[in-house]
Structure 1
Amino acid sequence: MHTSVLSGLGQAPIASKYFAHTQVRSDSIKLGKLKDLESAIALYARAVGLTPDGHPDKPSWLINSGCSHLTRFLQLGKLEDLESAIALYARAVELTPDGHPDKPSWLINSGCSHLTRFLQLGKLEDLESAIALHARAVELTPDGHLNKSSHLNNSGNSHLTRFERLGLIEDLESAIKLFTRTAKLIPDGHPSKPGCLNNLANSLSGRYGRTRDLEDLEEAIAHQSRAVDLTPDSHPEKPSRLNNLGTKLQTKFKQSGSLDDLDQAITHKTNAVSLAPEGHPDKPRWMHNLSSSLCTRFNEAGNLPDLEEAIRCSTCSVELLPKNHADRALMLRLLGILFDTRLHSPHAQADDATHAMEAFLGAMQHPNSHPLVRLRACYQYTTLFSEFPHLFTTPPRLALLDAYKYALVLVPRCIWMGNNVRGRYASKELPVIGEMVNNAVTAAISAGEYGLALEWLETGQAVVWSQILQLRTPLDDLRQHHSQLADDLYYVSQALQHAASSPSSSLPSSAEAYKAQPSLEGQAQSSHIYALEYEKLITQIRELDGFKDFLLPKTLSQLTGACASGPVVVLNLHNTRCDALVLSHPDHITLVPLPKFSLTHAVKLLGDLWYILDTRNLRGRFRDSEWHDDNRGQDKLGDGGRHDTMFRVLGDLWNFVVKPILDVPTVTSTTGLPHITWCPTGPLAFLPLHAAGIYRGSRSVETIMDFAVSSYTPTLEALLKPHVQTSSTGDYPQALVVSQPATPGQKRIPQTTKEADIVVSHVGLSTDTLHDSDGTIDAVLDGMETHNWVHLACHGLQDKTDPINSYFALYDGKLTLSTLMSKHLPNADLAVLSACQTATGDENLSEEAVHLAAGMLNVGFKSVIGTMWSISDRSGPIVMAKFYEVLMEQVRAGGELQPAYALHEAMKALRAELGVNKFMEWIPFIHFGL
């Protein structure tokens, strides 16, 4: 816990001239004189009521009245007292001009009251208010002022709290800077020094959790130990500081593995609980933390008394915590884990499963708690259900699929739109969501609920992309019935779109401010307020007649149009089973079990593929000479052993995944070559399904290319765009061709010039070219606005450490995926990305499709040609000559544009030119979308 000016969790620091009054009230409560506090509240209320707003003492009376209500809240826990305190503090701030010497203290009081309510109810609006109020107090307090250190401290507390809630690293760095400034301002021997050290230790420990820099952890433990040593046992903050020291030592145990660290952690936490008086609002949290450490030691050493004491402490923490407290799900979840731990030990008791189930259920259904904690409780509930289904037969227990339905509702709330995209992709929530959705889909398939399985897969696929696209949803229907709400939502959505791809937020403070300053430059307000406003507007809109499903995840009936161009095959891999769900026409889903394939097998195949790519350094575009035979007479792409590995990868994909699907009549029962769109998950998202087959030497025996044309999609929704229709009257598309043969700082790729000439020769006079130095970032982005076809012949790279920094290398710099995310091109049709690694993706985010091809798809392009890994300079012209030849035949014939078929023919041409066994050159070209 963080330390404020006064003791107690979230207790507001009171200006020095009113501190005595508050202390008297606290002592009255301790002495059982509640009637004295009641009298004080009544007297302050009367004083406020009798004092006009213009009176110079009115703010002081409001502050005192707020303090009395806050004191009663801290003692009795009645939320109406906290609400009154917040309102009274706000009114005092409103009536006090900025130049008044007490204004910063009133701001601090107001901010801490909001922080207290956040800790109780978990509403992010309160946290944002606390941060803004505390920052304003620091701004208004001159350096050298007696209260400067306390105001810095409280500002640091609010930032550290937001870091703990949302994981925003910028908040942690702000907290460390603020606490460091505070420590420098407070001399040794000052009574506030231990609290400052406590807070600095907490922030450094938080940074260790992100960076794993042991220096941060050691420094945190040193500061925390000193804070404990400087705090007498009689001090009200001593339990909190002991608890914090125990927590840091337990963190050290996780790193060191030394039971001595864990034993010390338990000793300090035990002392914290022992020193805490009955009724202390933080006692439940300290008991919870002690319980967690005891459980850890039981898992390490197997001593039953540790587990029994952990269950006792955890049970007490739940009983003592108010039922509406934001931490309740956290504590219930730990209680469930403890019962589940004993259930799976030799000391199991008959009712352990029941108690665990009830605890997990209570956690997942608690409305005020962190959605990720609730989602994890859902995961444990469903896991327990699968193991002991006979215990889940009576209310209030949820059936398995009902529990998953409950969990899937939480998914959009776990990745907060107030964070920028980089932060969302780096968050710890995405892997949890992926595993939860995977389990849910598998359960739905096992229950024969194939439509539900598709809906749930869609909910868990490309979560961040879905959020970005949601902000671009047309609002015509809403505007027709509720124009003001539509306008408000539009402006807030615009602000959030800007924030999504920004490294940090720089936004105005309201929709009106956004309209007045559309450039957003120079603004210092946080994007978080926009996310909160967006959530409020969505809630308000869903309460209107006819809009209850507004922007909710799409239902099966809305998704079935995805198969308009041919069957869509959704692949689900789980450690218990692997399946394909084939959506072949709107009212029919076919299950194709894949009993000879497994998640382990998929991981092995992907490992083999990565090995080939890594050992052949296929991480950059190669010139022709670099792909020729080396001086040993062997192909640069691989020796016989590596060819054998690739034969096996492609053969296993054919035998165990693709061929069983092609054997289903609804997949291939069409006139001509059917068009299959693959929607893979897990490791299959990185494996070349479109090239699966049996190959021997330099020939193909049986491959998917003989039976179908392949495309990919990250989501079903990406296939719901209107299809591109062409005209036979010669009205050709407006095409932009970008060629970069000599990009500064990059290897030369001269064949891009030839490639550009090929495109121009086929597409004709409607083509505009940006060659060499003309191909700047701004010119390319501007060109995308005015052309419906875009061809990029340049270097590309998937950034493995920061995927939204993946880029196209242009003449004056990098056009990154994060920049593309801010674009919206509703009239775009086709993007051809003749560059390396444009569809590589991040193996740690397999469900998110974080690559340039997906970026172009989500910007608005309906069809995208991308590359799974690096390509050779010689391949581009061969592929593009055939691709545009076939594509323009389609244009001249009129009707629906089919880039997937054009690429299919181009792949056949490249294989014929190079040889089918040159796998690494022809396989990487793939098609996304329609």
Structure 2
Amino acid sequence: MGATEDDHPEKVAIINNLGVALHTRFECVGEHQDLEEAFFLRQLANALTPDDSPDKASRLSNLAISIFSRFEREGRAEELEEAIGLWTHAAELVPDSHVHKPTLLNNLGSSHRKRYEQLGKLEDLESAIALHARAVELTPDGHPDKPSWLNNSGNSHVTRFEQLGKLEDLESAIALHARAVDLTPDGHPGKPSWLSNSGNSHVTRFKHQGKLEDLESAISLYARAVELTPDGHPDKPSRLNNSGTTHQTRFEQLGKLEDLESAILLHARAVDLTPDGHPDKPSWLNNFGSSHRIRFERLGLLEDLGSAIKLSARAVELTPDGHPSKPARLNNLANSLARRYERTRDLKDLENAIAHQSRAVDLTPDGHPEKPSRLNNLGVKLQTKFEQSGSLDDLDQAITHLTNAVSLTPEGHPDKPSLLHNLSNSLRTRFNEASNLTLLDAFKYALGLIPRCIWLGNNVRSRYTSKELPVIGAVVNNAVTATISAGEYGLALEWLETGRAVVWSQVLQLHTPLDDLRRLHPQLADDLYHASQVLQHAAISPSNLLPLLTEPRKTQSSLEGHAQSSHTYALEYEKLITQIRELDGFKDFLLPKTLSQLTGACVSGPVVVLNTHSTRCDALVLSQPDHITHIPLPEFSRTHAVKLLGDLWYILDTRNLRGRFRDSEWYDDNRGQDKLGDGGRHDPMFKVLGDLWIFVVKPILDVVITLATVTSTTGLPHITWCPTGPLAFLPLHAAGIYRGSRSVETIMDFAVSSYTPTLEALLKPHVQTSSTGDYPQALVVSQPATPGQKRIPQTTKEADIVVSHVGLSTDTLHDSDGTIDAVLDGMETHNWVHLACHGLQDKADPISSSFALHDGKLTLSTLMTKHLPNADLAVLSACQTATGDAKLSEEAVHLAAGMLNVGFKSVIGTMWSISDRSGPIVMAKFYEVLIEQVRAGAELQPAYALHEAMKALRAELGVNKFMEWIPFIHFGL
């Protein structure tokens, strides 16, 4: 070919083709000089191509490819912007029918997704999805590039799912990746990549939904990707690593050791095929080490832990300090060393663990989300070192790091409670070591974080079922134990109140009257009321949120214009509360009750608060006049309480009075099969009730009797029990010495018992009466044949008993009339409610515990939406209405507490299933005594009425029929 002008089309084509060849060599070899020369030639070819040339779009695209490659190599944002501009211009120059249009759209979509990854702007991701979809649409199925466009489109949908959490994006990604795989023959070089990406999308769905079939699909897809990738291929180690990780995940799900063995082999291969200088080598080593550590956890072989440490150390060694994964790898190494210390007690391992953990903390910037976790790990290791060395310097360092971990953890974070628990343990240890009362301030700080752990922005179900509540109970237990040791009994009561019924307290807070605030600051009152209404409804049922958000407002406020989410309103609610507390006269607005406010709880008699801890057990008695008496229980322990509870649960389980205890940490089935709790001479209930009497109730009663005032014709004082931990499930009201069919010495001979979940629940006006003989408005619900439930015909007899005593002021909802809506409406208009029906405790989902009515279940979650300030008495003649959940011992998540919290001042409930014959006997005597109080115009005392009913039932059936009379208990006033 002869000489040509610089802008001659053939010469420009040669320049362009040479640039393409150089860029191709760069992609194969990675030589930077090839990339720069390709860029120069493509830039020249583009400049020499006029805008109206049919080749202009192709030249623009080629130049964009080189610039994009430079961006990927060097990370200069301006080059990404330039590439996007060039591809945009190229796409505008050609019609949809042009053969290169799909390629241009695909490349432009990929560059937008890359910019989204850099800047996080959602509009880039939306553009990427739209551009990839258009590229797919314009490409026929037989086209060789169609699978690539489908794959890229699937990747963008996965990215949007990870950003917004919309399941339809993930479903689209799985379908797109599957289609890409289906359209690609096995020999195609892109097939392993499409298989691997398809596996990734299935793994993502598994993590989101937990369906094992997704994990199985991912394992199969990764295995096929590995099989089709030759050993020399640069992506082979990555695909082996992914395959190993999914096998490890399946082991964690199913526990099959062959999966863990496969994971170790696959990770080993990934490491072997990757040279030391490769940037991914440390990651493969780290994962290889993790699989060995997991096998150690399963089999206990110390050589596995040694391999894990060796591999983790190598991963750390190959990772430069500036690498973002260096702190995580140091953290893993430190944890493995700490585990070996636990086995061998070699102090050198612990020292090295602390050194690596300290380095991990130092290399983690303050804003990093893992900083609190790494601070926590360092604190725990230093606490362990203190236990070995006894040096208070180690313990003080641990407290410092644990405090920082808690303070840096954002509200609502799932790890906050466990961090708080670790801090609490260290503080208690420091307190015991140094008797330094200033550490109570640290506990005060820790307890002040409870609202940040059980966050108002989460719905009630997630608050109850999360791991936070049990941990908070342990933190409060530690704090209270420390304050009792210090003699700070008033503070101990305040803190116990702060940590009990946390979720219910949040729900009730949203019902707080705002009259004083509205009178002085009407705008703030309106804003707070609206936010409270949204949170109240969203907390129980998110589907109820929209009507409140769109409801017309009379006033403009800062709430308007916010995103329609309960999280947004929770933040706004907290902001408003802070603002209100800055106003004159409102500095204590919605803060936890102080001791001076709580002392009113004992107006009907002493309140006994029981705290059990591994180190000590104590009773704090609140009595008139504003006096707290401390009663140590040195012969009792938390271990003893757990043993008694296990015995009780075994009895109930074997008699089918309340099942499903075996998944509780407090259940112990290592008991003889003859112990059936039938009142015989081998009945273990004798020991349960006897131990409660000897070690707990009798020592308390000896003191309390002198503090109590008798206000009843029975001549017995009234005691209200507020137990915590395992004692919350034990029948303190029945404690005593029993021999055969007679009682020797029991609490019922000396006092009338009630229970309360919190002190605040007792801060209500007493159960109201009008003038002499003026009967209350009573609602009686009887369900003898509830659809889908066992028949309980005695409920009809029971309803007749109530009507015969209460008289014409009673309204009855019998059988099919007892619908959910009718019962809820009746609660609004009657101050007494009697429910004779099935009660169902839902252990898996506590707020789904319910009363079984004719047309469905009246759940605890539905009751939470109610506020009944004029309600007085609720009699729950149903099974398991005061059962609760052992995992939430401080929350009282049961129907009786629910009725108390929605407004009823006095509630009769049952600790376990009751027999058909017991109900009518109990209710006949209970209402007889209660109506005598009404006729006398006296203050109603339901606890005394139930006490007399229990005496009547015991006389009828026999004292030793414990399972029949013990479950009836009284809550409240």
The code of the aligned residue for 2:680 comes to G
User: How many pairs does the alignment contain?
Assistant: 805
Equivalents in 1 of 2:650, 2:799: separation in Å? Answer: 33
Deviation at 1:737, TM superposition (A): 0.8
Inter-CA distance 104–19: structure 2 relative to 1 (3 Å threshold): closer
Instruction: Choose the corresponding residue for 1:748, options 779, 784, 791.
Output: 791
Inter-CA distance 759–368: structure 2 relative to 1 (3 Å threshold): closer
The share of aligned pairs that are identical, in percent, is 63
The residue that corresponds to 1:381 in the other structure is: 426
The code of the aligned residue for 1:838 comes to T
Is the Cα contact below 8 Å between 1:496 and 1:531 reproduced in 2? yes
Equivalents in 1 of 2:282, 2:865: separation in Å? Answer: 49
Q: More displaced, 244-253 or 916-925?
A: 244-253
Equivalents in 2 of 1:327, 1:294: separation in Å? Answer: 20
The residue that corresponds to 1:794 in the other structure is: 837
* Cα displacement string for residues 271-290 of structure 1 (whole angstroms, at most 9, x for unaligned residues): 54344333233322332222
Higher relative contact order (CA 8 A, sep 6+): 1
Equivalents in 1 of 2:65, 2:342: separation in Å? Answer: 47
The code of the aligned residue for 1:746 comes to Q
* 1:566 counterpart SS class: coil
Deviation at 1:315, TM superposition (A): 1.3
Are positions 1:688 and 2:725 aligned together?
no
Are positions 1:651 and 2:694 aligned together?
no
* 1:790 counterpart SS class: strand
Deviation at 1:545, TM superposition (A): 4.1
* 2:619 counterpart SS class: strand
* 1:597 counterpart SS class: coil
The residue that corresponds to 1:153 in the other structure is: 158
Deviation at 1:690, TM superposition (A): 1.1
Consecutive unaligned residues in structure 2, runs of 5 or more: 1-60, 90-104, 137-148, 182-189, 211-248, 555-562, 660-673
Inter-CA distance 781–278: structure 2 relative to 1 (3 Å threshold): same
Inter-CA distance 348–635: structure 2 relative to 1 (3 Å threshold): closer
Is the Cα contact below 8 Å between 2:424 and 2:479 reproduced in 1? no
Is the Cα contact below 8 Å between 1:668 and 1:708 reproduced in 2? no
Deviation at 1:434, TM superposition (A): 1.2
Equivalents in 1 of 2:360, 2:301: separation in Å? Answer: 28
Inter-CA distance 332–380: structure 2 relative to 1 (3 Å threshold): farther
Equivalents in 2 of 1:245, 1:367: separation in Å? Answer: 30
Equivalents in 1 of 2:757, 2:582: separation in Å? Answer: 32
The residue that corresponds to 2:29 in the other structure is: none
Equivalents in 2 of 1:104, 1:535: separation in Å? Answer: 42
Instruction: Choose the corresponding residue for 1:359, options 391, 397, 401.
Output: 401
Is the Cα contact below 8 Å between 1:198 and 1:227 reproduced in 2? no
Inter-CA distance 459–354: structure 2 relative to 1 (3 Å threshold): closer
Inter-CA distance 305–242: structure 2 relative to 1 (3 Å threshold): same
Inter-CA distance 769–481: structure 2 relative to 1 (3 Å threshold): same
Inter-CA distance 915–217: structure 2 relative to 1 (3 Å threshold): same
Equivalents in 1 of 2:925, 2:914: separation in Å? Answer: 17
Matches within 5 A, 1:593-672: 593-619=632-658, 638=678, 640-643=680-683, 645-664=684-703, 665-671=705-711, 672=715
* Cα displacement string for residues 776-828 of structure 1 (whole angstroms, at most 9, x for unaligned residues): 22322222222221111112232333333322222233222233223332322
Deviation at 1:351, TM superposition (A): 5.4
The residue that corresponds to 2:527 in the other structure is: 488
Is the Cα contact below 8 Å between 1:418 and 1:531 reproduced in 2? yes
Instruction: Choose the corresponding residue for 1:468, options 494, 507, 510.
Output: 507
Equivalents in 2 of 1:217, 1:469: separation in Å? Answer: 52
* Cα displacement string for residues 526-555 of structure 1 (whole angstroms, at most 9, x for unaligned residues): 543433333333334334444333322221
Matches within 5 A, 1:2-81: none
* 1:757 counterpart SS class: helix
Equivalents in 2 of 1:656, 1:673: separation in Å? Answer: 22
The code of the aligned residue for 2:336 comes to S
Is the Cα contact below 8 Å between 1:662 and 1:668 reproduced in 2? no
Instruction: Choose the corresponding residue for 1:307, options 347, 350, 362.
Output: 350
Instruction: Choose the corresponding residue for 1:779, options 817, 822, 835.
Output: 822
* 2:808 counterpart SS class: coil
Are positions 1:417 and 2:462 aligned together?
no
Deviation at 1:766, TM superposition (A): 1.8
Equivalents in 2 of 1:569, 1:802: separation in Å? Answer: 30
How does the TM-score come out when normalised to structure 1?
Answer: 0.76
Deviation at 1:568, TM superposition (A): 0.8
* 2:484 counterpart SS class: helix
Is the Cα contact below 8 Å between 2:177 and 2:194 reproduced in 1? no
The code of the aligned residue for 1:154 comes to T
Inter-CA distance 291–203: structure 2 relative to 1 (3 Å threshold): farther
Deviation at 1:438, TM superposition (A): 0.7
Equivalents in 2 of 1:148, 1:330: separation in Å? Answer: 36
Q: More displaced, 559-568 or 237-246?
A: 237-246
Equivalents in 2 of 1:175, 1:290: separation in Å? Answer: 37
Are positions 1:711 and 2:751 aligned together?
no
Is the Cα contact below 8 Å between 1:104 and 1:136 reproduced in 2? no
The code of the aligned residue for 2:678 comes to G
Matches within 5 A, 1:245-284: 246-247=289-290, 250-251=293-294, 253-259=296-302, 262-263=305-306, 265-284=308-327
Equivalents in 2 of 1:876, 1:804: separation in Å? Answer: 26
* Cα displacement string for residues 92-150 of structure 1 (whole angstroms, at most 9, x for unaligned residues): xxxxxxx9999998799679857xxxxxxxxxxxxxx98x9979987997495665333
Inter-CA distance 17–253: structure 2 relative to 1 (3 Å threshold): farther
The residue that corresponds to 1:901 in the other structure is: 944
Inter-CA distance 785–181: structure 2 relative to 1 (3 Å threshold): farther
Q: More displaced, 603-612 or 452-461?
A: 603-612
* Higher Cα Rg, which structure: 2
Deviation at 1:304, TM superposition (A): 4.9
Is the Cα contact below 8 Å between 1:500 and 1:822 reproduced in 2? no
Deviation at 1:301, TM superposition (A): 4.2
Instruction: Choose the corresponding residue for 1:323, options 347, 366, 383.
Output: 366
Equivalents in 2 of 1:498, 1:217: separation in Å? Answer: 48
Is the Cα contact below 8 Å between 2:773 and 2:937 reproduced in 1? no
Matches within 5 A, 1:92-491: 142=133, 144=136, 147-158=152-163, 184=178, 212-214=253-255, 218=259, 225=267, 239=282, 243=286, 246-247=289-290, 250-251=293-294, 253-259=296-302, 262-263=305-306, 265-345=308-388, 352-366=394-408, 370=413, 371-386=416-431, 388-389=433-434, 399-491=438-530
Inter-CA distance 367–743: structure 2 relative to 1 (3 Å threshold): closer
Is the Cα contact below 8 Å between 2:677 and 2:685 reproduced in 1? no
Please tell me the root mean square deviation across aligned C-alpha atoms, in Å.
4.4
Is the Cα contact below 8 Å between 1:198 and 1:223 reproduced in 2? no
* Cα displacement string for residues 424-459 of structure 1 (whole angstroms, at most 9, x for unaligned residues): 222222221111111111110111101100011111
The residue that corresponds to 2:618 in the other structure is: 579
The code of the aligned residue for 1:469 comes to L
Inter-CA distance 304–725: structure 2 relative to 1 (3 Å threshold): closer
Consecutive unaligned residues in structure 1, runs of 5 or more: 1-14, 30-35, 48-55, 62-98, 115-128, 161-170, 393-397, 518-523, 621-633
The residue that corresponds to 2:879 in the other structure is: 836
Is the Cα contact below 8 Å between 1:108 and 1:154 reproduced in 2? no
Equivalents in 2 of 1:203, 1:215: separation in Å? Answer: 22
Inter-CA distance 317–908: structure 2 relative to 1 (3 Å threshold): same
The code of the aligned residue for 1:836 comes to C
Are positions 1:506 and 2:548 aligned together?
no
The code of the aligned residue for 2:439 comes to L
Deviation at 1:570, TM superposition (A): 0.4
The residue that corresponds to 2:860 in the other structure is: 817
Inter-CA distance 455–237: structure 2 relative to 1 (3 Å threshold): farther
Are positions 1:570 and 2:612 aligned together?
no
Q: More displaced, 376-385 or 199-208?
A: 199-208
The residue that corresponds to 1:884 in the other structure is: 927
The residue that corresponds to 2:955 in the other structure is: 912
Equivalents in 2 of 1:216, 1:495: separation in Å? Answer: 49
Inter-CA distance 285–133: structure 2 relative to 1 (3 Å threshold): farther
Q: More displaced, 335-344 or 132-141?
A: 132-141
Deviation at 1:695, TM superposition (A): 2.3
Equivalents in 2 of 1:890, 1:194: separation in Å? Answer: 77
Instruction: Choose the corresponding residue for 1:762, options 780, 783, 805.
Output: 805
Equivalents in 2 of 1:329, 1:139: separation in Å? Answer: 39
* 1:663 counterpart SS class: helix
Deviation at 1:413, TM superposition (A): 1.5
The code of the aligned residue for 2:716 comes to L
Equivalents in 2 of 1:176, 1:260: separation in Å? Answer: 41
Inter-CA distance 510–812: structure 2 relative to 1 (3 Å threshold): closer
Deviation at 1:616, TM superposition (A): 1.9
Equivalents in 1 of 2:280, 2:521: separation in Å? Answer: 52
